[in-house]
Protein backbone atom coordinates (compact mmCIF):
# COMPACT_ATOMS: atom_id res chain seq x y z
CA UNK A 1 0.00 0.00 0.00
CA UNK A 2 1.31 3.45 -0.88
CA UNK A 3 2.24 5.61 2.12
CA UNK A 4 0.92 8.69 0.33
CA UNK A 5 -2.23 7.71 -1.62
CA UNK A 6 -2.93 11.29 -2.74
CA UNK A 7 0.64 12.01 -3.81
CA UNK A 8 -0.18 12.48 -7.50
CA UNK A 9 -2.72 15.18 -6.76
CA UNK A 10 -0.38 16.79 -4.24
CA UNK A 11 2.41 16.99 -6.82
CA UNK A 12 0.05 18.34 -9.46
CA UNK A 13 -1.18 20.96 -7.02
CA UNK A 14 2.13 22.34 -5.81
CA UNK A 15 5.08 19.98 -6.35
CA UNK A 16 6.11 19.71 -2.72
CA UNK A 17 5.66 17.75 0.49
CA UNK A 18 4.43 19.29 3.72
CA UNK A 19 5.19 18.10 7.21
CA UNK A 20 7.49 19.41 9.90
CA UNK A 21 9.39 20.96 6.98
CA UNK A 22 8.28 21.59 3.41
CA UNK A 23 10.60 20.53 0.61
CA UNK A 24 10.57 20.43 -3.14
CA UNK A 25 13.26 19.79 -5.71
CA UNK A 26 14.40 21.47 -8.87
CA UNK A 27 16.95 20.35 -11.43
CA UNK A 28 20.34 21.99 -11.16
CA UNK A 29 20.62 24.36 -14.12
CA UNK A 30 22.61 27.36 -15.24
CA UNK A 31 20.39 29.42 -12.93
CA UNK A 32 21.13 27.63 -9.64
CA UNK A 33 24.39 25.69 -10.03
CA UNK A 34 26.48 28.31 -8.24
CA UNK A 35 24.13 28.18 -5.25
CA UNK A 36 24.48 24.39 -5.25
CA UNK A 37 28.27 24.72 -5.13
CA UNK A 38 27.86 26.76 -1.93
CA UNK A 39 26.27 23.82 -0.08
CA UNK A 40 28.56 22.41 2.62
CA UNK A 41 28.70 19.52 5.04
CA UNK A 42 30.58 19.08 8.31
CA UNK A 43 34.25 18.22 7.87
CA UNK A 44 33.81 14.75 9.43
CA UNK A 45 31.21 13.97 6.72
CA UNK A 46 33.54 14.60 3.77
CA UNK A 47 34.21 10.86 3.37
CA UNK A 48 30.48 10.14 3.19
CA UNK A 49 29.31 12.02 0.09
CA UNK A 50 30.85 13.42 -3.09
CA UNK A 51 31.07 17.16 -3.55
CA UNK A 52 28.48 18.94 -5.64
CA UNK A 53 31.26 19.74 -8.13
CA UNK A 54 32.05 16.03 -8.58
CA UNK A 55 28.36 15.19 -8.95
CA UNK A 56 27.96 17.89 -11.60
CA UNK A 57 31.01 16.55 -13.43
CA UNK A 58 29.41 13.08 -13.46
CA UNK A 59 26.23 14.62 -14.89
CA UNK A 60 28.33 15.89 -17.79
CA UNK A 61 30.55 12.81 -18.26
CA UNK A 62 27.90 10.12 -17.58
CA UNK A 63 30.27 7.41 -16.31
CA UNK A 64 29.46 3.83 -17.35
CA UNK A 65 26.60 5.10 -19.51
CA UNK A 66 24.48 6.24 -16.56
CA UNK A 67 22.60 9.54 -16.59
CA UNK A 68 23.25 11.65 -13.50
CA UNK A 69 20.40 14.13 -13.13
CA UNK A 70 21.36 16.60 -10.36
CA UNK A 71 18.67 18.18 -8.19
CA UNK A 72 18.62 20.86 -5.53
CA UNK A 73 16.50 20.29 -2.45
CA UNK A 74 14.63 23.42 -1.42
CA UNK A 75 12.73 24.52 1.65
CA UNK A 76 9.86 26.86 0.95
CA UNK A 77 8.99 29.44 3.61
CA UNK A 78 6.24 31.83 2.73
CA UNK A 79 7.45 33.72 -0.34
CA UNK A 80 11.12 32.73 -0.18
CA UNK A 81 12.83 29.46 -0.96
CA UNK A 82 16.07 28.17 0.46
CA UNK A 83 18.44 25.60 -1.08
CA UNK A 84 19.06 23.08 1.70
CA UNK A 85 20.50 20.03 -0.03
CA UNK A 86 21.42 18.08 -3.12
CA UNK A 87 21.15 14.66 -4.78
CA UNK A 88 21.51 12.97 -8.14
CA UNK A 89 18.85 10.79 -9.74
CA UNK A 90 20.99 8.17 -11.50
CA UNK A 91 19.60 5.87 -14.18
CA UNK A 92 20.31 4.20 -17.47
CA UNK A 93 18.98 6.20 -20.43
CA UNK A 94 16.74 3.42 -21.76
CA UNK A 95 16.06 1.35 -18.65
CA UNK A 96 14.21 2.81 -15.70
CA UNK A 97 13.40 -0.54 -14.09
CA UNK A 98 15.84 0.57 -11.39
CA UNK A 99 17.57 3.78 -10.37
CA UNK A 100 20.10 5.07 -7.90
CA UNK A 101 19.98 7.88 -5.39
CA UNK A 102 23.46 9.40 -5.36
CA UNK A 103 25.28 12.20 -3.59
CA UNK A 104 22.34 12.80 -1.24
CA UNK A 105 23.06 15.32 1.50
CA UNK A 106 21.63 18.21 3.46
CA UNK A 107 23.67 21.38 4.01
CA UNK A 108 25.29 21.43 7.45
CA UNK A 109 23.23 24.39 8.71
CA UNK A 110 19.99 22.49 8.01
CA UNK A 111 20.98 19.04 9.32
CA UNK A 112 19.01 17.53 12.19
CA UNK A 113 15.84 19.45 11.34
CA UNK A 114 13.94 16.84 9.31
CA UNK A 115 15.02 17.94 5.83
CA UNK A 116 16.80 14.67 5.06
CA UNK A 117 13.75 12.56 5.83
CA UNK A 118 11.38 14.93 4.02
CA UNK A 119 13.66 14.99 0.97
CA UNK A 120 14.07 11.20 0.92
CA UNK A 121 10.30 10.69 1.12
CA UNK A 122 9.84 13.29 -1.61
CA UNK A 123 12.40 11.55 -3.84
CA UNK A 124 10.87 8.09 -3.37
CA UNK A 125 7.36 9.33 -4.06
CA UNK A 126 8.61 11.32 -7.06
CA UNK A 127 10.13 8.11 -8.49
CA UNK A 128 6.91 6.17 -7.83
CA UNK A 129 4.76 8.83 -9.52
CA UNK A 130 7.00 9.79 -12.44
CA UNK A 131 8.74 6.50 -13.22
CA UNK A 132 6.13 3.82 -12.55
CA UNK A 133 8.30 1.26 -14.34
CA UNK A 134 10.98 1.61 -11.64
CA UNK A 135 10.92 -1.47 -9.43
CA UNK A 136 13.80 -0.63 -7.10
CA UNK A 137 15.96 2.19 -5.82
CA UNK A 138 19.58 1.53 -4.95
CA UNK A 139 22.12 3.64 -3.13
CA UNK A 140 25.50 3.22 -1.53
CA UNK A 141 26.41 4.46 1.92
CA UNK A 142 29.65 4.74 3.87
CA UNK A 143 29.56 2.11 6.65
CA UNK A 144 30.34 4.76 9.29
CA UNK A 145 27.52 7.08 8.18
CA UNK A 146 25.18 5.79 10.87
CA UNK A 147 22.73 8.70 10.60
CA UNK A 148 22.20 8.06 6.88
CA UNK A 149 21.91 4.30 7.37
CA UNK A 150 19.23 4.84 10.02
CA UNK A 151 17.38 7.28 7.73
CA UNK A 152 17.46 4.86 4.79
CA UNK A 153 16.31 1.94 6.96
CA UNK A 154 13.42 4.04 8.28
CA UNK A 155 12.10 4.23 4.71
CA UNK A 156 12.51 0.51 4.01
CA UNK A 157 16.00 0.25 2.53
CA UNK A 158 17.94 -2.91 3.36
CA UNK A 159 21.60 -3.76 2.90
CA UNK A 160 22.18 -6.12 -0.02
CA UNK A 161 25.54 -7.47 1.16
CA UNK A 162 27.17 -5.96 -1.91
CA UNK A 163 29.77 -3.21 -1.89
CA UNK A 164 30.43 -0.41 -4.34
CA UNK A 165 33.99 0.72 -3.85
CA UNK A 166 34.07 1.08 -0.04
CA UNK A 167 30.36 1.68 0.48
CA UNK A 168 27.56 -0.73 1.38
CA UNK A 169 24.78 -1.03 -1.20
CA UNK A 170 21.22 -0.62 0.07
CA UNK A 171 18.05 -1.43 -1.84
CA UNK A 172 14.39 -0.49 -1.63
CA UNK A 173 12.03 -2.63 -3.71
CA UNK A 174 8.72 -1.15 -4.79
CA UNK A 175 5.82 -3.58 -4.54
CA UNK A 176 3.11 -4.08 -7.12
Tell me if 174 is assigned to some domain.
no
* C-alpha–C-alpha distance, residues 89 and 76, integer Å: 21
**Residue 150 resides in a domain:** no
Q: Is residue 144 part of a domain?
A: no
Residue 14 has a pLDDT of 43
Assigned domain for 96 exists: yes
The domain total for the chain is 1
Residue 153 lies in a domain: no
CATH code of the domain containing 127: 3.40.630.30
CB atoms within 10 A of CB 20: 9
Answer whether residue 172 is part of any domain.
Answer: no
Residues paired with residue 86 on neighbouring β-strands, in sequence order: 72, 105
DSSP annotation string for 116-168: HHHHHHHHHHHHHHH-TT--EEEEEE-TT-HHHHHHHHHTT-EEEEEEETTEE
- Tell me whether residue 38 is in a domain: yes
| pLDDT tens, residue order, the chain (176 aa) | 334 444 444 443 344 544 578 899 999 999 999 999 999 999 999 999 999 999 999 999 999 999 999 999 999 775 567 899 999 999 999 999 999 999 999 999 999 999 999 999 999 999 999 999 999 999 999 999 999 999 999 999 999 999 999 999 999 999 86
Beta strands in 1-134 (DSSP E): 23-27, 67-77, 80-92, 95-106
Q: What angle do CA 52, 53, 55 make, to 5 degrees?
A: 60
In a domain, 161, yes or no: no
* Domain housing 117: 7-133
Predicted pLDDT at 157: 99
pTM of the complete model? 0.87
Amino acid sequence: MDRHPNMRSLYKANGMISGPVTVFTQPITDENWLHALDLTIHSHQSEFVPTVALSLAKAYIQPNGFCYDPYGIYHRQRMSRQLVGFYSFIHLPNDLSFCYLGGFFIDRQFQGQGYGKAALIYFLDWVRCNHVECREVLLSVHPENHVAIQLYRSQGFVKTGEWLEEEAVMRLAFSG
